[in-house]
Amino acid sequence: MEKKMLEIQEKIKNNIRLSREDGLYLYNSGDLLDLGELARWKKFQVSGRNVFFNVNRHINLTNICVSRCKFCAFGVDENGKGGPYLMSVDEAFDYGAAAVDYGITEFHIVSALHPHMPFDYYVDIVRRLHETFPDIHIQAFTAVEIFYFSQISGLSIREVLSALKAVGLGSMPGGGAEVFNDDIRQKLCPRKAMSDEWLEVHRIAHELGIKTNCTMLYGHIETIEDRINHFIRLRNLEDETPGFQAFIPLPFLPENTSLSHISRTSAIDDLKTIAISRLMLDNIDHIKAFWIMLGLPIAQIALDFGADDIDGTVVEERIMHAAGAPTEKGISKEKIIKLIKESGYIPTERDTLYKVIRAY
Amino acid sequence: MKLRNLLQDIIDGRRMTNEEFALLYRQGDFLEIGRAANHVREKRFGNNITSFIIDRNINYTNICSCKCKFCAFYREKGDKDAYVIDKTTLFGKIDEAVSLGATQLMIQGGLNEELKIDFFEDIFKKIKSRYDITIHSLTAPEIVYIARISNLSIKDTLLRLKKAGLDSLPGGGAEVLHDDVRSYISPNKIKTAEWLGVMKTAHEINMKTTATMMMGSVDKLEHRIYHLDAVRHLQDETGGFRAFIVWTYQPGNNELMGEKISSAQYLRFLALARLYLDNIEHIQGSWVTQGERIGQLSLLFGADDLGSIMIEENVVRAAGLVYKMDMNKMVRLIRDAGRVPALRNTKYELLKVF
């Protein structure tokens, strides 16, 4: 091992926070298997041999979007191509309700920025689902959506979140973070919340006792410095106003987007990013290997590179699949359990707030 | 800790026993095994090169009497899409291959009773008279079959084919070298002893070969270890294997179906094969059956070669699996793994370092 790597190893074993420079070093040099071992050691400190998953239903209410980010293959115009759709409150409810018998513990609602639907529409859906299924946790609306709801309703972010919480919102997903570099956001997603706004929504959510996740979309036009900076901003927010449960690195899938000339991140980059996020984000407990985007083989291997969560056995997912994610749209619990066991870990079904439902 | 010491012993050069292989496969740490395999690769080559070859598969016929359960390629004579290649098509394919930079032909096909040794002598001679290209062709089951229908011994068959231009034999048809497995998945194909016999005879007439394995159908770990043991043993005797390649069984469009073995298991096996086969120089990673993402990771788990840029591959494709690879992609894939890409020929001589 190189001297710098040994230094980093010392820091990690002594719970000393890694610097920006350390993060850059890990990305730019060093052996991937050494890195994996460090990240895995860190994972063991946090969650032992458990690997978490949950069983949820994704509900993507609409694909009609005013934001139209360049990296997205899901959003369409209201009257444009690509099969624009909008679920009514009843349809959304029925769609969610239909999955209840699969043993789901979470409704996961993420959508587009619809040009006309009022904030009340979203409130109604959460209320309907929560009233009928009070035991099923509702994780809904990215910070980008929350910020948009504030714009279309004239309410403050705090008021929007409070209103949703009052009718049953349990926690927020981590999407829409992309990369915290506003020059890049101006190029790729100019019509949605900028970095500070995204972070502000999560700060307020945490203040209101709403747990959230966080993500990073990588492998497009960002630099390694941007990625490390992203980790540090998340880490700082978690220090100041804790509330992040999990970090989910999302590799950019170029297919079907207007950035399709960019090639897909390599498996090595994906594993590095998992491992480095585990080491940099020392105050966020869970690192998720999101199999929908990584593919099951890499998600399984990522368990030895610091990931401790493999996401849900999603009943059906549309957004990533629009971008050509070559994975199945849903996966059985048995398959997830088998993969985790095969890698020598304990498959642990959790609820949204990481309460253990059952270890297998 | 005990297993870590064991891995260190093996890195230091002690030969791994079959029991140790089983122990490490079942209980060894994934990352430590990978690192040990990479260490041994580094020690052997003293560089960070990953080689690859450009070759063309030409499947001369799909009519096959073998009918293996895992195969989606074979047809019966009389089937609408049954074929035997004609010379115009054959040379057309080779012309194209040469223009695309191929240095190796893998001419392989079904066991077709109408194609006796003169068919192969004829095409090999014609190829050699027209092209400067290596004929790395005909698997052991084909050699045995050609010998039988031509009333020749294995040795005479190989000698005649060698004279006509056959340079080396690929390792296909080995599947898993254990007769319990073979009797089930490919009952009509040659058994373990015959496969090894062809390889041994080839090595004796100074014809190099490759050893392969198709893992993950009905085989258990014990069968795979038996296979590796047989290969290592013969290699001690003859030294004629240039490389070992492990593929994973592709369920799809065949009789056997079943589930694909996980990529983590593949990488673990590959790494242990590098450590076990201390007498075989090259260990090839397979992006063809594993996809480029796992293919890339195989480089961290002991592989020094990534196979290959194939201009045409029909057999795996028939099972429903198509991955595309070109030179730029291959070079980038290898570089992204921190390795130095190099184009090689059949003898593993480096033709161009990128």
- pLDDT for B329: 87
Tokens of A98: 């239909």
Put simply, whether B33 touches A (Cβ < 8 Å) is: no
CA distances for B51 relative to B92, B135, B329, angstroms: 27, 19, 14
- pLDDT for A276: 98
- pLDDT for A326: 63
CB contact under 8 A, B265 and A342: yes
Chain-centroid distance of CA B288 in Å reads 11
- pLDDT for A103: 83
CA distance A5 to chain B (A): 16
In this predicted structure, the answer to whether residue B1 has a pLDDT above a threshold of 60 is no
User: What DSSP state is assigned to residue B55?
Assistant: E
**Interface probe with B: pick from A301, A303, A331, most Cβ of B within 10 Å:** A301
* Domain ranges within chain B, ordered by starting residue: 31-353
In this predicted structure, the answer to whether residue A224 has a pLDDT above a threshold of 90 is yes
- pLDDT for A193: 96
- pLDDT for A236: 98
- pLDDT for A358: 94
- Give the range among A186-195, B238-247, B327-336 with minimum mean pLDDT: B327-336
- pLDDT tens digits along A171-217: 999 999 999 999 999 999 999 999 999 999 999 999 999 999 999 99
The runs of H, that is alpha helices, within chain B are 2-11, 18-27, 30-45, 87-99, 117-130, 140-149, 154-164, 179-185, 192-204, 221-238, 263-276, 287-298, 315-318, 327-336
- pLDDT for B118: 97
- pLDDT for B2: 84
The runs of H, that is alpha helices, within B87-242 are 87-99, 117-130, 140-149, 154-164, 179-185, 192-204, 221-238
Give residue A344's pLDDT band: very low, low, confident or very high (50, 70, 90): very high
- pLDDT for A322: 65
CA distance A329 to chain B (A): 18
CA distance A36 to chain B (A): 8
In this predicted structure, the answer to whether residue A316 has a pLDDT above a threshold of 60 is no
Give residue A323's pLDDT band: very low, low, confident or very high (50, 70, 90): low
Name which of B31, B267, B296 is nearest A266 (Cβ-Cβ): B296
Closest CA to B159 of B129, B103, B204: B204
Is 3.20.20.70 the CATH number for B31-353?
yes
Question: What is the mean predicted confidence (pLDDT) over B148-152?
Answer: 97
Question: What is the mean predicted confidence (pLDDT) over B67-86?
Answer: 90
Q: What is the spatial distance between Cα A272 and Cα A277, in angstroms, rounded to a whole number?
A: 8
**Chain B hits for A40, Cβ within 8 Å:** 31
Name which of A267, A342, A343 is nearest B293 (Cβ-Cβ): A267
Put simply, whether B300 touches A (Cβ < 8 Å) is: yes
- pLDDT tens digits along A241-293: 999 999 999 999 988 788 888 989 999 999 999 999 999 999 999 999 998 88
Q: What is the spatial distance between Cα A169 and Cα A267, in angstroms, rounded to a whole number?
A: 35
Put simply, whether B7 touches A (Cβ < 8 Å) is: no
- pLDDT for B317: 59
- Give the range among A39-43, B20-24, B56-60 with minimum mean pLDDT: B56-60
**Chain B hits for A26, Cβ within 8 Å:** none
- pLDDT for B325: 67
In this predicted structure, the answer to whether residue B315 has a pLDDT above a threshold of 80 is no
Name which of A298, A304, A344 is nearest B293 (Cβ-Cβ): A298
- pLDDT for B341: 97
CB contact under 8 A, B31 and A304: yes
**Interface probe with B: pick from A1, A33, A42, most Cβ of B within 10 Å:** A33
Tokens of B197: 């016999």
Name which of B35, B294, B300 is nearest A297 (Cβ-Cβ): B294
- pLDDT for B310: 79
Put simply, whether B293 touches A (Cβ < 8 Å) is: yes
**Chain B hits for A32, Cβ within 8 Å:** 300, 338
Put simply, whether B320 touches A (Cβ < 8 Å) is: no
Q: Rounded to the nearest 5°, which phi and psi values hold at B229?
A: -60, -45
What CATH code would you report for A32-55+142-359? 3.20.20.70
Closest CA to A112 of A156, A164, A76: A76
Percent of chain B residues past pLDDT 90, beyond the cut: 81
**Chain B hits for A43, Cβ within 8 Å:** none
**Chain A hits for B332, Cβ within 8 Å:** 263
* Domain ranges within chain A, ordered by starting residue: 32-55+142-359
- pLDDT for A260: 87
- pLDDT tens digits along B343-354: 999 999 999 999
- pLDDT tens digits along B117-136: 999 999 999 999 999 999 99
Question: What is the mean predicted confidence (pLDDT) over B230-250?
Answer: 96
In this predicted structure, the answer to whether residue B260 has a pLDDT above a threshold of 90 is no
Mean pLDDT of chain A: 93
